Structure 1
Amino acid sequence: MDKAYNGRGYTTEAVRLVVDYAFRVLKLHRIEAGVMPHNEGSIRVLEKSGFEKEGLSKKNVLINGKWEEHLHFAIVNPDD
């Protein structure tokens, strides 16, 4: 999304809709997400969407030739 639209809640609403679809229609039990620790915007979106931080994955993803840490978030289907 273009930076001009940051902070308007569009991404949070999109994540909430996807989570709802995944749980209600696809009947998934759990959704996980990884985000770089410095990405405050994405962390906030996950938290506002009901995801909980579960921990830190060290040297988790190779980005531009460097192993990067990621915070691990998850949300569980409340109907399970």
Structure 2
Amino acid sequence: MCALSELSTGLDARVTALRADHDFAQRLHALGLRIGRSVRVVRRGALNGPLQLRIGTTDIMLRRVDAALIDTDAIAPA
């Protein structure tokens, strides 16, 4: 298990926990980041910039400090 901010680029992972306050957790749910969903880090911004994430067919940008509040488990490649 690792935080989403630590996940390697290009790897798929499953969201296992959201360690955020209620309001921020609701925002993450609205963006599609829910427990059990798969997520992939597509790209990392330079100099600790934001992460580009792919959830299903949707891409979002998320600050690394916020991604650190999301726990994931890596999904083995098929």
Q: Shared topology, TM-score over 0.5?
A: no
Q: TM-score normalized by structure 2?
A: 0.28
Q: Which one has the largest radius of gyration?
A: 1
Which structure's residues are more often helix, by fraction? 1
* Structure with bigger RCO (C-alpha 8 Å, 6+ apart): 2
